[in-house]
A and B are shown apart, each in its own frame.
Chain A
Amino acid sequence: DQQVKQNSPSLSVQEGRISILNCDYTNSMFDYFLWYKKYPAEGPTFLISISSIKDKNEDGRFTVFLNKSAKHLSLHIVPSQPGDSAVYFCAALIGGNQFYFGTGTSLTVIP
């Protein structure tokens, strides 16, 4: 049973526009959420995170929003750049050590 879901397997966005990647979860006990970026043939790299006690965290072009009542988080990338083309995974943490990942969204930024 997938506790963290990314319902969009792929997304295409024009360079300079906003990319919005979505993630839904089912377990209300998750207390931390993270986004990772993955290029082919490489391991995932950490992008940005948010605690469950916050609703927004921003780091440069990347902003993560958390809506606990809807059990939904999103990653906004503004402006999108061709180098942002990758697979993005959201992840949720419970108990400090159990990480649950979504299935990933492949983002393509078109120059």
Chain B
Amino acid sequence: DAGITQSPRHKVTETGTPVTLRCHQTENHRYMYWYRQDPGHGLRLIHYSYGVKDTDKGEVSDGYSVSRSKTEDFLLTLESATSSQTSVYFCAIKPRDRGINEQFFGPGTRLTVL
């Protein structure tokens, strides 16, 4: 257990509404990631962060923004949700003190956009 929590765990919203998902970690890891998992696509990187206020885009960043104002929190925002953003969203951290590049994942947030 890498001390990662995601909130909410489930959310149903309507097209056009803003949505923010939260990832919280308790172990002061520098690297944090947001992925989405969809059938036929596996996990795809949306955005990642390498420190407070330091973020970068992944392969499917369009329609998403992120913020990291504190080490422990990484927020993913859908400014205007669309049905194509219905997915399961996973947050992950990568411990920098490890000698390998493994990531630890949170439990996921299931988002449904109607």
Known contacts A97-B31, A100-B59; is-contact A34 B42 (Cβ 8 Å): no
Known contacts A97-B48, A98-B45, A99-B33; is-contact A49 B102 (Cβ 8 Å): yes
Instruction: Classify the secondary structure of B's interface with A.
Output: strand
Q: Contact at A34–B102, with CB atoms within 8 Å? A: yes
Q: Contact at B42–A103, with CB atoms within 8 Å? A: yes
Would you call B58 an interface residue if the criterion is a C-beta within 8 Å of the partner chain's C-beta atoms?
A: yes
Contacts of B92 in A (CB 8 A): 43
Total A-B Cβ pairs within 8 A: 57
- The interface on chain A, measured as residues whose beta carbon lies within 8 A of the other chain's beta carbons, has a size of 25
Q: Produce 1/0 per residue, A28-56, CB < 8 A to B.
A: 00001010100001111110010000000
Q: Contact at B103–A99, with CB atoms within 8 Å? A: yes
B42 smallest CB distance to A (angstroms): 4
Instruction: Classify the secondary structure of A's interface with B.
Output: strand
A97 smallest CB distance to B (angstroms): 6
A7 smallest CB distance to B (angstroms): 12
Contacts of B44 in A (CB 8 A): 101
| B39-79 at interface with A (beta carbon < 8 Å) | 40-45, 48, 50, 56, 58-59
Q: Which of B43, B44, B100, B106 has the most CB of A within 10 A?
A: B43
8 tightest A-B CB contacts, nearest first: A43-B105, A101-B43, A46-B102, A103-B42, A101-B42, A44-B105, A32-B101, A102-B42
